[in-house]
A and B are shown apart, each in its own frame.
Chain A
Amino acid sequence: MSEEEHKLAVAPVSEEKVQNVKTDNEETNTDKKEELENIFDDDEDENDEEEEEEEEEQEPKKKKQRPAFSFVDVEAEVSGEEDEEDEDEDELIKEGFITKEGEGSGDDEEDPNSKRSDALHRQLDAKRDKMQELENEKIAAEFTKRHKQNAKRAAEQLEAYNEGFIPQRFLLPSVDTAIIWGVRCRPGQEKALIRKLFLRKQTLDANPQSKSLKIWSIFQRDSFPGRIYIESPKAAVVEKFLKGVPDIYFNQKILVPVQELPSLLSATKKANEVEIENGSYVRIRSGIYKNDLASVLEVSPNKLSVLLKIVPRIVYEYEEEDMGNGKRKRKTVNALNRPSQALFNPTLALRSDPNNYSMRNDIYIFRNEEYDDGYLIKEFKINRLITDNIIPTVDELTKLNGKAGNDLDLETVSMNLRKAQQANSVFQTGDTVEILSGEQKGSKAVVQTLISASIVLVKLFGFNQTSEYPSSTLRKIFQTGDHVAVINGDHTGDSGLVLNINNGQVTFVSNQTKKNITVTANNLKKSIDSTPTSNDYVLHDIVTLSNKVTACVIEAGHDIFKVKNVRGKVSTITKATILNKIETSRSRNTTIDYNGREVNIGDSVMERVGARREGQVLYILQNELFILSRKIIEDSGIFIVSSYSIEAIGSKEDENNQTLNLAQMNPEVIRQQQKQRQQMEDERKNEVRFGRDVALGKTVTVRSQGYKGQLGRVKDVTGDRATIELYSSKKNIVIDKRKLNYMHEEGGKGMSYDELVNKRGSINRSNKQFINSDSSFVSRNNQFGNRADIPSFENVMAGSQTPGWGAMSGGKTPAVGAGRGNATSYGGSSIWAAASSGNATTRGSSSTWNAGNASTWNAGAASTWGTTGGSSTWGGNNATGGASAWAKEGGQTSYGNSSSWGGNKSAWGGAPAQKAGNTSTWGAASTQQGGNASTWGTAPAQQGGNASTWGAAPTQQGGNTSTWGSSTNNNNNSNGNASTWGQ
């Protein structure tokens, strides 16, 4: 400061300027120091930048503002200022010297001062020079250092490329060296996730507190979507690292097997990847030519761009739109409002935009685009193109290859088509092929790899080396029984089993249509999947079409569906035409059939008239029903009928209706009907009767899940499986017969199958008695005839008695017991009740009777017995077993039938014996009857006589005797007759 004061005193004229200079100088010096420090602190790169920037300054147009290197810019500016200041300073000093000298010459006193200031200046200059030198040295040192580094690095890099390469086989992974975890992630997010995880790792590592996680690498492959792979020695590390990262599901992580690692990280081509070459077809990914077909004219040496030939879409006259403020703007052309494809029209081009039009060597240049022969010739980057799976249409090929107006060159088109088909790589690794031409004609080979679109590497059978063949000379070989899928042509997506191969034409039976389809071998591929169909809609789906018509899918392909609409019209539609699928299981649509009964989805129905087609209701649309029949082949078993023309197949409803039907309540009518039905049933049942299952015809409840607790009737029994007709829904279900609860009477307790069988055994034994009781029965009938009790009897009969008989024979133990009881009971009307195990409610049991042969009894027994005597009665028995025989031939022959009684045989054996004696026994019976008729009807005294007879019967029976005793007792209670019996 003192110096300056001096100056002020010495050089008052220039004091301000000098002061300025001084301060400036000091400032710049300090600035420079700082800058130098900054520079050396920073990276070497920035020195470069500095230099570059300085160069750029000389060419101002090149100068760019780069925010990333803002520091350099600042520095450069400062240095610029500095230069200016230096100049200023020099000038000032010069001025100063002049003035000083002038002044000095005038005034000596100030000399030391001026000398001093001069020295000061020199000192400053020296200091500056030194600084500059230092700076330069440092920069030079940096340069040499960097150069050395570069050289070293270059050497290293070269080494890395050229030398020290360990053969790949030595790098094969082992469980110790390579631990790679596969983690599921959200598909489509793999690359973004890799970036995200990279950043995450860097952020985590940047934190000095946390320990660096041992993660060596993270990667993804396009061929494995929805997965990323992490190389890390520990699973826990992976978990910790991935925790909280969205779109990654690290719970589903697997350790990638070591053997799979090389293929996971191989850079080899995908099987279906076809390399672009001259003449192949591509599509443009975006822009105004989006999805347009183009042919490749030339591929650049680096294979990253291609020269394409495209059918142009030129806007000659731009449409302009008013911007509102008087300005007009050209309407932009994009893929949506692009013009249609048309060849280049020079006349139009010249007229519309002559400034941008020129012609040279038959090549037009219009708006900087080249047009040759009417086609646009343009270079495209390969990532703007779609290269795989290009299937050109004939139309596109025609446009691209045949000039408009000219005749279509069919040969080129077919050639192009063939090429296109080849491009759509027909062959796959592992296909068995036959060579069609050349020296190896007729020999067979296996496809190894696809070398290009048209060349296939194959290995001939019997030879070790592989050879290349053009794919056009190969034909796929299939064998009868192969499962194939069509990959090209009209039947694309269809599949089936190969039936026949004839000269390259493969005939297969379609899985969908069940028809034979013949396709060229190369359009097929072997397929394991039996349903190469759409995932969205399957056979027999009910769908809504775009015109709001409901239809049923009768043939499901990949994209093509055959549907039958609600009007019955069959049409072939594309997937896009289907609006949506109707969930039939959620539908509550119902309708009523011809008989006014409710029909639901899933019910079995039958046509009332016509072909009487039968099937299951798939869907109900108001009055139209979609019905699926397994017996019909056409239209996949689907037919559509009006609800008025069908009737539901149901059992319970039938019965209810019958009981409600007044006309049928007339006993006479019933009898007639029953007779007829019996005869019919007899004829039918006689065939199967012999092996008849006890369960047949029983009322049951289901014990297993699904239909548990539901009531039904056994319609059919095959082995262990019983077909149950459910009362609740008109369905037939098939179920294990042991999983049923057999009800012998409504409301009563059920029994298991085994119990039922056991019971049946006892029935059989009682059959003998039964016979006896028959006789009594007969007599009783007579009685009834005479009696006023008839109505009750009739009721019984009508209700169920007849079947009851069947039941007896079949095995209705209770019934039998009843029968015996009945015998007694016949005396009185209440007998029946007794019959049914003595319960008053026996009526129920009477129903049981119905189930069986009972009807027979009615028909035969009632009348027969009444009239002809015992033998005829047996005719009634027909119903029960060998009954027919009985019926026909009378008592004796019927004994043969006795064998048919089944388990009873032994008893019967007794019986035949009886017969001989029977005659007597029976005779006794008959006599009884005879006597009975009167006896029963009339006098207990007879009964007494009868009693003895009967008594005899019981004795024969043995165990039954007791029964008798009891039953009679019971009967006694119940019936007026009972008293008689009691005696």
Chain B
Amino acid sequence: MSGSRRSVNRNTATSSERACMLCGIVQPLQVFKTTSCPNCSSIFDSYKPNEPLDLKIYDLISPSFEGMICILKPEKSWCSKWLRFNKYVPGMYAVKINGRLPEEVLEELPHFVPRDGSVQWE
């Protein structure tokens, strides 16, 4: 029983989950479509302001990510500090997110370090 349930869980969870390329939070695509990202809503709002949320989010989220980390206490956890999750809400995050943000978003955030492993944090 556990086997079949587990596999169903895993499949549904991973196939519909997306990671925010800005903060790295992992949540189902449907949640991104309806409520955007809990940490980066301002950027989600300011990016392509005239486009509906459920279309523009595809530029900001990624289906390809690795290293699931569940942050329970962002202020206390060393992991969250190290990975810069410390100002975000508790939840599931990804350590490495493949994909590149649109240039206009990056221009707004000159100090943003992408989470795709292309640049090492200093």
Contacts and interface: CB of A to CB of B under 8 A. Distances in A.
B117 A267 contact: yes
B43 A217 contact: no
Contacts, number: 160
Interface stretch (A192-200, A483-491, A580-588): A192-200
B49 interface: no
Given A154-B42, A191-B10, A216 B64 contact: no
Nearest to B61: A304
A304 B99 contact: yes
Interface string B92-122: 1001101111110000011110011100111
A161 B6 contact: no
B85 to A, nearest CB: 8
Interface of A: 45, 150, 153-154, 156-158, 160-163, 165, 167-169, 171, 173, 177-178, 180, 189-192, 194-195, 197-198, 201, 215-222, 231, 246, 261-262, 265-269, 301-304, 381-383
Given A201-B72, A303-B100, A265 B82 contact: yes
Nearest to A304: B99
Nearest to B30: A68
Nearest to A69: B34
Closest 8 CB pairs between A and B?
A154-B42, A219-B69, A216-B77, A178-B78, A267-B96, A267-B117, A168-B121, A198-B70
Contact of B63 (A197, A198, A261, A304): A304
6 contacts: A150-B45, A158-B42, A302-B21, A303-B99, A381-B63, A383-B63
A168 B82 CA distance: 7
B69 A218 contact: yes
A192 B63 contact: no
B70 A160 contact: no
A218 B67 CA distance: 11
Contact of B64 (A45, A231, A383): A383
Interface in B10-52: 10, 13-14, 21-22, 35, 39-43, 45-46
A150 B87 contact: no
Contact of A177 (B39, B78, B101, B103): B78
Contacts of B99: 302-304
Interface residues of B, number: 58
B40 A157 contact: yes
A53 to B, nearest CB: 13
Contact of A161 (B22, B79, B82, B98): B22
B83 A301 contact: no
Nearest to A269: B117
B79 A195 contact: no
Interface string B60-90: 0011101111111100111111111001100
B4 interface: no
A153 B46 CA distance: 13
Nearest to B21: A302
B102 A302 contact: yes
A296 to B, nearest CB: 15
A246 B2 contact: yes
A160 B9 CA distance: 34
Contacts of B111: 161-163, 165
Contacts of A231: 77-79
Contacts of B96: 267
A227 to B, nearest CB: 12
B10 A219 contact: no
Given A216-B73, A218-B69, 16 more contacts: A157-B42, A162-B112, A194-B68, A194-B70, A195-B70, A198-B92, A215-B73, A217-B71, A217-B72, A220-B68, A267-B116, A267-B117, A301-B103, A304-B62, A304-B99, A382-B63
Contact of A219 (B22, B84, B95): B95
B119 to A, nearest CB: 9
Given A150-B42, A265-B95, A301 B100 contact: yes
A160 B111 CA distance: 10
A168 B112 contact: no
A736 B115 CA distance: 66
Contact of A302 (B22, B79, B100): B100
A246 B9 CA distance: 15
A161 B13 contact: no
Given A171-B81, A302-B99, A195 B13 contact: yes
Nearest to A45: B35
B98 A197 contact: no
Nearest to B38: A153
B92 A195 contact: yes
A190 B67 CA distance: 10
Give the most central of B2, B70, B115: most A CB within 10 Å. B70
Nearest to B114: A267
Given A191-B14, A217-B73, A246-B2, A171 B82 contact: yes
Contacts of A267: 67, 95-96, 115-117
Interface of B: 2, 6, 9-10, 13-14, 21-22, 35, 39-43, 45-46, 59, 62-64, 66-73, 76-84, 87-88, 92, 95-96, 98-103, 109-112, 115-117, 120-122
Contacts of A160: 39, 84, 87-88
A217 B66 contact: no
B72 A215 contact: yes
A173 B77 CA distance: 11
Contacts of A220: 67-69
Give the most central of B71, B82, B100, B116: most A CB within 10 Å. B82
Contacts of A268: 117, 120
A216 B76 contact: yes
Nearest to A49: B34
A45 B34 CA distance: 11
Contacts of B67: 219-222, 265, 267
B112 A303 contact: no
A180 B79 contact: yes
B13 A304 contact: no
Contacts of B122: 167-169
A161 B64 CA distance: 22
Contacts of A218: 69-70, 72
Nearest to A179: B78
A197 B2 CA distance: 16
Contacts of A381: 63
A194 B92 contact: yes
A706 B51 CA distance: 82
Contacts of B43: 154, 157-158
B102 A216 contact: no
A627 to B, nearest CB: 47
A617 to B, nearest CB: 45
B76 to A, nearest CB: 5
Contacts of B64: 304, 382-383
Nearest to B109: A161
Contacts of B87: 156, 160
A219 B98 contact: no
A229 B2 CA distance: 23
Contacts of B95: 219, 221, 265, 267
Nearest to B117: A267
A269 B114 CA distance: 13
A217 B79 contact: yes
Give the most central of A177, A190, A194, A231: most B CB within 10 Å. A231
B65 to A, nearest CB: 10
Contacts of A222: 66-67
Contacts of A216: 71-73, 76-80
Contacts of A262: 82
A265 B83 contact: yes
Contacts of B109: 158, 161-162
Contacts of B78: 171, 173, 177-178, 180, 216, 231, 261
A150 B71 contact: no
A178 B77 CA distance: 8
A304 B99 CA distance: 5
Contacts of A215: 72-73
Contacts of B9: 192, 195
A269 B96 CA distance: 9
